[in-house]
Amino acid sequence: MTERKPAGMNFESWIDKQIREATERGEFDNLPGAGKPIPGLGKRRDEMWWVRDKMRRERLTFTHPTFALRKAAEVARAEAMAATSERAVRDIVAEINKQIVEAIRRPSSGPPLNLMPFDVERILQEWREQHTDKP
């Protein structure tokens, strides 16, 4: 941690002193990108360029909660159809329904959810039809 700026010393002199001392200690040696051109220098950028760049470097993604819940509902329905017992189907549907109800109660800005809770009995009927041994 750096020391506090001494009273009476202007900021420029204090900063110059810190940079000089760090250079003497070798703290700027072998920095990543040293001697390379600055990426994207001279390109036109919008105001969110740095956010996208940070997300790319950190390997982050963002999906709007509405889209994420729609996808989770699709996955939950597929998992329910692949479940091995009625109890598992009920548990899967109950969990996704809880998330859907919560999202409906607390709407957010952005795209509409366009989801209603699943009808557990209807899902179970479909599951039974798929899992009935047919001759």
pLDDT (tens digit, 9 = 90+) per residue, 51-82? 888 999 999 988 889 999 999 999 999 999 99
d(CA 57, CA 123): 42
Q: Is the pLDDT of residue 37 over 90?
A: no
Cut 0.75: pTM above it:
no
What's the Cα-to-Cα distance from 17 to each of 7, 13, 31, rounded to whole Å? 15, 6, 20
Q: Is the pLDDT of residue 104 over 70?
A: yes
Name residue, tokens 């001392």: 21
* Residue 62 CB-half CA count within 13 A: 7
The residue that leads in pLDDT, 12 or 105, is 105
- Residue 45 is predicted with a pLDDT of 82
Answer for the pair 114, 70: CB distance below 8 angstroms, yes or no: yes
Local confidence band at 117 (pLDDT 50, 70, 90 cut-offs): very high
- Residue 126 is predicted with a pLDDT of 94
Chain-centroid distance, C-alpha 16: 40
| Amino acid (1-letter code) at residue 69 | L
What's the Cα-to-Cα distance from 92 to each of 67, 73, 97, 133, rounded to whole Å? 19, 10, 9, 23
